[in-house]
Amino acid sequence: MRIYTRSGDTGETGLFGGGRVPKDSGRVEAYGTIDELNATLGVARNFIQDAEIDAWLEALQRELFLLGADLATPLTTTRKKPVSRLQASQVTALEEKIDAWQKELPPLTRFLLPGGTPGAAFLHLARTICRRAERRVVKLAREESINPEIIRYLNRLSDLLFVLARLCNQRAGQAEHFWE
């Protein structure tokens, strides 16, 4: 399989369900930002030695591929093999992990400066990319119909990434720094 197809040389790209859109369309901006988030999680994983956190990050990367495919396939698309869509149960799973991991952390009473260990710093960066992806998806949802679970998922995922960054620092013995 060749890596290049030349089909995008005119500034358009194909969607999963067929059809072509400009590469700067809201839909492509949204799933492109999800791809950026996924790549950033891949970088973070290189700096995280905690097996539990690494396993969760790998699972999140796999879910982000599902989310990207969901965004790349308009709801009105008819395909022989339907695309998998993000489910409410995946949002609930994020909430459950946030609640469990927060029990390991001291309560926050002030704003936290992003940083700490390299892994935690990259998770903070991933959190900000996740927020940007969420903004792109919200904008897309005003223009086109999308799976509403995507917005909920991204909102929770950014919270989970914040908790994971704190947890990485906590487990590594890295002190948190606060904004005064």
Model pTM?
A: 0.92
Are 176 and 166 a contacting pair, CB within 8 Å? yes
pLDDT tens column, 107-164: 999 999 999 999 999 999 999 999 999 999 999 999 999 999 999 999 999 999 999 9
Tell me what pLDDT residue 22 has. Answer: 63
* Residue that wins the pLDDT comparison between 180 and 175: 175
The secondary structure of residue 20, as a DSSP letter, is E
State which H helix or E strand residue 12 sits in. strand 12-14
In the chain, the domains with their CATH numbers are: 22-74+84-104+115-172 (1.20.1200.10)
CA nearest to 43, candidates 109, 110, 120: 120
Contacts of 145 (CB under 8 A, 6+ apart): 74, 75, 76
